[in-house]
Amino acid sequence: MATSDRTRRTGEHRTAGRRLSRYDLLLLVIPAAFLLALVGSTVSPLPTRVFVAGASVVGALAVADGLFVNPPDGDR
Protein backbone atom coordinates (compact mmCIF):
# COMPACT_ATOMS: atom_id res chain seq x y z
CA MET A 1 0.00 0.00 0.00
CA ALA A 2 1.42 3.38 -1.00
CA THR A 3 1.63 6.14 1.56
CA SER A 4 2.58 9.76 1.15
CA ASP A 5 4.80 11.86 3.34
CA ARG A 6 3.31 15.33 3.45
CA THR A 7 6.14 16.74 5.54
CA ARG A 8 8.60 16.03 2.76
CA ARG A 9 6.38 17.60 0.12
CA THR A 10 5.75 20.84 2.04
CA GLY A 11 9.20 21.04 3.58
CA GLU A 12 7.60 21.76 6.94
CA HIS A 13 7.89 19.64 10.04
CA ARG A 14 5.33 20.20 12.74
CA THR A 15 6.72 20.19 16.23
CA ALA A 16 5.34 21.30 19.56
CA GLY A 17 7.88 24.11 19.84
CA ARG A 18 7.23 25.59 16.40
CA ARG A 19 6.56 29.32 16.17
CA LEU A 20 3.29 30.46 14.69
CA SER A 21 3.47 31.83 11.17
CA ARG A 22 1.95 35.11 10.06
CA TYR A 23 -1.00 33.24 8.57
CA ASP A 24 -1.61 31.28 11.76
CA LEU A 25 -1.80 34.59 13.62
CA LEU A 26 -4.18 36.03 11.04
CA LEU A 27 -6.45 33.03 11.49
CA LEU A 28 -6.40 33.60 15.26
CA VAL A 29 -7.26 37.30 14.92
CA ILE A 30 -10.66 36.62 13.33
CA PRO A 31 -12.28 34.58 16.14
CA ALA A 32 -10.50 36.73 18.75
CA ALA A 33 -12.19 39.83 17.32
CA PHE A 34 -15.59 38.19 17.57
CA LEU A 35 -14.91 36.99 21.12
CA LEU A 36 -13.97 40.53 22.10
CA ALA A 37 -17.15 41.76 20.41
CA LEU A 38 -19.15 39.31 22.50
CA VAL A 39 -17.50 40.49 25.71
CA GLY A 40 -17.88 44.12 24.72
CA SER A 41 -21.55 43.72 23.94
CA THR A 42 -22.25 42.18 27.33
CA VAL A 43 -20.49 44.87 29.38
CA SER A 44 -21.47 47.90 27.30
CA PRO A 45 -24.82 49.59 26.76
CA LEU A 46 -24.09 49.88 23.02
CA PRO A 47 -26.05 47.60 20.69
CA THR A 48 -24.52 44.27 19.75
CA ARG A 49 -24.55 45.17 16.06
CA VAL A 50 -21.91 47.87 16.71
CA PHE A 51 -19.48 45.32 18.11
CA VAL A 52 -20.26 42.71 15.46
CA ALA A 53 -19.70 45.30 12.72
CA GLY A 54 -16.35 46.22 14.25
CA ALA A 55 -15.33 42.58 14.49
CA SER A 56 -16.36 42.07 10.87
CA VAL A 57 -14.16 44.95 9.77
CA VAL A 58 -11.22 43.53 11.73
CA GLY A 59 -11.78 40.09 10.20
CA ALA A 60 -12.06 41.53 6.69
CA LEU A 61 -8.83 43.48 7.17
CA ALA A 62 -7.08 40.32 8.37
CA VAL A 63 -8.27 38.39 5.32
CA ALA A 64 -7.30 41.23 2.97
CA ASP A 65 -3.86 41.41 4.55
CA GLY A 66 -3.32 37.68 4.22
CA LEU A 67 -4.53 37.53 0.62
CA PHE A 68 -3.53 40.81 -1.00
CA VAL A 69 -1.02 42.77 1.09
CA ASN A 70 1.18 39.84 2.17
CA PRO A 71 0.11 36.91 -0.02
CA PRO A 72 1.57 33.48 0.67
CA ASP A 73 4.44 32.51 -1.56
CA GLY A 74 4.61 29.11 -3.17
CA ASP A 75 8.06 28.31 -1.73
CA ARG A 76 6.85 27.17 1.69
Q: pLDDT, tens digit, for every residue of 23-76? A: 999 999 999 999 999 999 999 999 999 999 999 999 999 999 999 999 988 765
Question: In this structure, what is the dihedral angle of CA atoms 14, 16, 22, 26, given to the nearest 10 degrees?
Answer: 110
Residue 13 has pLDDT above 80, yes or no: no
Residue 4 has pLDDT above 70, yes or no: no
User: pTM to 2 decimals?
Assistant: 0.71
Between CA 52 and CA 38 the distance in angstroms is: 8
